[in-house]
Every structure is written in structure tokens, then in C-alpha cells.
Amino acid sequence: MPIQTAIIGCGSISRFHFAALEKMKAPIRWVCDLNEEAARPYAEKFGARDTRDYQQALADPQVEVVSVLTTSSTHKRICMEAIGAGKAVICEKTLAENAEDALEIVRLAQEKGTIFYTSYMKRFMPAVVKAKELLPRLGTIFSTYIRTYQPWGDIWESNPAEGFFHTPPGGVSQVVKSYGGGILVCGGSHLLDLIGFFLGRPQRLYAKMVQAGGRDYDLLAAALIETPNGVAHYEAAAHPLKKIGHLRDGWDERIEINGTGGRIEILSALWDQVYHKDSLLMHYDEASGTVTEYRYGPVSPFEGALAFFHDNIGRGVQGTQPITTGYDVDELIGQVKRSAATGQAVDIEWKI
């Protein structure tokens, strides 16, 4: 039986969740948003109830899973209330505004026996799924290069006069209001998750960050990260370059994993253009001396993520994605900031 869903938050990210649920023919029982105009079209399309008060959805005994698609600053309260109401939870990234809050959420989910996911959907890109399958063929992994260069416009030289990246004098930019930070949180968090996914929980890191004058968010975060499977060279950067990247659209995100048995390279497409741009995976095999290219048509990783989450929730199991995923990334974000602030390498002490 398909499980009954309540959606909390109908902002821009929600369109990918709604599209995935529609493809799965998953019933949506509630659509919740403080903006009635944002919720109503989805409620009408899916035959769901709409409300400004998500407590109504949490009180509905027929709701089995709650998707939390609001900004990170609201995640802790909503997630903990959903867990307390006995619902499985799918939460957008980042899980919380800091590692301490993320840890509190995860510990409550463990205590209540709740199936809980933080939706780092890049795990479900076809190129990433295939790379994970090929990973054992690399032998001993000794080095990884992982980076995201994202086209945010000309924000290095001056504070934009308006818009999402404008920091008003004495005020807060919209990017910080919405996501809690700059490139490290917005784009770099996904790649921190993929470091753990491919290489295991990091043990130690040394980081640098750049925040330009007059702006309240970071434009660059770089780190050397020690893992159980070699060193990861990590970088997240916001930039003004319009024609870089393998599709020459300004988006330059790539992963290179090197082992004694070969190399894997992933070149990804813009995260929000998944319906008309695709990613590329290349596998070099040392034994045969051959390079195999895996080209995938445009596929939304949200579809793979939601199908995985709902299948496991329906079967009553957490599955292969750890309940700690969101905490792990938030802890790494905190440690990158700590190392950058002190100029010192830091040992990562996992609290769960």
C-alpha cells in the first residue's frame, strides 16, 4: 500500500518532491505552507487538504510520513514535533543550523524508533549510484578530488545592489536568511555528504574560507579532509564565470576518486536543471587499460531519493542510508568553520 504523505513547505525545492511523488503515484494527504497561495495549487492538483498550520497534518492519524521542505532554521522544531507525533520524516538539507541541533533531532529519532532521512539527493544521481557500484574495483583508494564551482554572478568584487546575494548595511542577506550561510552550506554540503558516502566518516581536516567585505556569507570553502580511504581535496566556490564546466554553462562540479586499480570521474549537471541536462561518469580500469564512459539521460535524483525513502518507510526499515546523515554533514560544516576560524587542523569527534 502506498504511504500517506504530508508536505510541509511549498517553496522552490518542493516542486521536485511533488514531481517525484506524482511519478510514484504516492498519495499526498496534506499540503502545508504559511503562504496559502503557494500551497493551494498543489492541494488542488493532488486532491490534498491545505493548511497554514502544519499541526493539523501531524495530528492526522492517517499521515505516515512528513516531508519537511522549509528553510533550515525551522527544521529542528518541525522535525522534533513530527517525530513526537509518530511520523516517519524526510527532511531537506541542511538538517539544522548547527551540529548540536542536528544531533538532538537524530537522537530523538533513535529514541523513538523513527525512520528518518535527510534528503541529500545527489547520492541518487545515476552517475553517483554507478560510481558507488564500481568503487571496489579501484583497489586501495589513496586520493579524492571533489569540488563544486557554482555560478552565483559577480559577487566577488562588490556587494550586489539587490537580490538574493545582497547584504544590506547592518542587515542579513536573503541567502543567509534562507539557508544559514553561503557556498559551504548551499552547495558544499552536498559534497561533504558524498565524501562520507564514498569514503567513510572523515577523521581530521584543515580548512580555509573566504568571506568578502560587506557580505555576510562565504564565497569559498576549501579543505584537506582525512578519511578512512585516503585524503579528500575539497572545494566549494561561488564564482562569476559563465562558460566553465563540462556543459559550458558555468556549473563545474566534479568528483575524481583515485585508487591502485583505477580512477572514477563524475561530471555533474546543474542540480535544478535535471530534466534537460545530464551527468557523465568515466571509469578507468588499470588492469585492462580501458576507459568506459557512462552517459545518462536527464534524470531527477529526487525521484530516486523519494522512491528509496518511501520504499523503506513502507517496509518499516531505515535501509542503507544512515539516520545520522544530516548530523554528519552539519558536524563537518561546523568543523570546516572551526578550522578556518582558528587556522588549525581539527580532529573530528563524532558524538553519535
pLDDT tens-digit series, residues 185-203: 999 999 999 999 999 999 9
Share of the chain above pLDDT 90, in %: 95
Q: Is residue 64 part of a domain?
A: yes
Contacts of 303 (CB under 8 A, 6+ apart): 19, 20, 23, 24, 124
Q: Identify whether residues 188 and 253 lie together within a single domain.
A: yes
The confidence score (pLDDT) of residue 2 equals 86
**Domain endpoint, select from 105, 120, 135:** 120
pLDDT confidence bin for 240, thresholds 50/70/90: very high
- The H-assigned helical ranges of 47-86 are 55-58, 75-84
244 burial type by CB count under 10 A (0-12 exposed, 13-18 middle, 19+ buried): middle
pLDDT digit string, tens, across residues 306-328 = 999 999 999 999 999 999 999 99
Q: pTM value?
A: 0.97
The verdict on 275 and 335 lying in the same domain is yes
Span 11-15, average pLDDT: 95
Same domain, 91 and 240: no
Examine residue 325 and state whether it is found in any structural domain, yes or no: no
Tell whether 210 and 78 lie within a shared domain: no
* 313, part of any domain: no
Average pLDDT over residues 138-166: 95
Same structural domain for residues 82 and 194? no
180 and 69 housed in the same domain: no
| Domain final residue, candidates 86, 101, 120 | 120
Q: 257 pLDDT band (50/70/90 cuts)?
A: very high
Alpha-carbon gap, residue 54 to 158, rounded angstroms: 40
Same domain flag for 169 and 269: yes
Split at pLDDT 50, 70, 90, the class of 274 is confident
Q: Are residues 136 and 229 in the same domain?
A: yes
- Separation between Cα atoms, residue 350 and residue 107, nearest integer Å: 13
For the segment 177-185, the average pLDDT, to the nearest whole number, is: 92
Based on the domain organization, do 217 and 196 belong to the same domain? yes
Task: Give the separation between CA 124 and CA 116, rounded to whole angstroms.
Answer: 17
Q: Which residue has the cell 558524538?
A: 351
Domain membership of residue 38 (yes or no) is yes
The pLDDT value given to residue 50: 96
CATH number at residue 26: 3.40.50.720
Residue 34 belongs to domain spanning: 5-120
State the CATH number of the domain containing residue 149.
Answer: 3.30.360.10
- Which residue among 92, 120, 148 closes a domain? 120
In a domain, 315, yes or no: no
Q: What is the pLDDT confidence band of residue 16, given thresholds at 50, 70 and 90?
A: very high
Parallel/antiparallel/unpaired status of strands 88-92 and 116-119: parallel
Same domain, 90 and 164: no
Q: Which residues pair with 232 in a beta bridge?
A: 144, 225
HSE-CB for 53 with a 13 A CA cutoff: 4
Residue 179 is predicted with a pLDDT of 86
SS3 (DSSP) at 97: coil
The residues pairing with 89 across neighbouring beta strands, listed in sequence order, are 66, 116
Residues 257-276, mean pLDDT to the nearest whole number: 95
3-class DSSP state for residue 68? strand
Inside any domain, residue 310: no
Please check whether residues 106 and 129 belong to one and the same domain.
no
Q: What is the pLDDT of residues 292-305, one digit of tens each?
A: 999 988 999 999 99
Q: What is the tally of structural domains in the chain?
A: 2
pLDDT value of residue 351: 97
Segment 37-76, tens digit of pLDDT:
999 999 999 999 999 999 999 999 999 999 999 999 999 9
- The reported pLDDT for the residue numbered 311 is 97
| Structural domain contains residue 193 | yes
What are the DSSP E strand ranges found in the chain? Answer: 5-8, 28-32, 49-51, 65-68, 88-92, 116-119, 141-151, 204-210, 220-227, 230-239, 252-259, 262-268, 280-285, 290-295, 346-347
Question: Do 297 and 336 have their domain in common?
Answer: yes
Residue 59 lies in a domain: yes
Across 125-145, average pLDDT: 98
Q: What pLDDT score does 181 carry?
A: 92
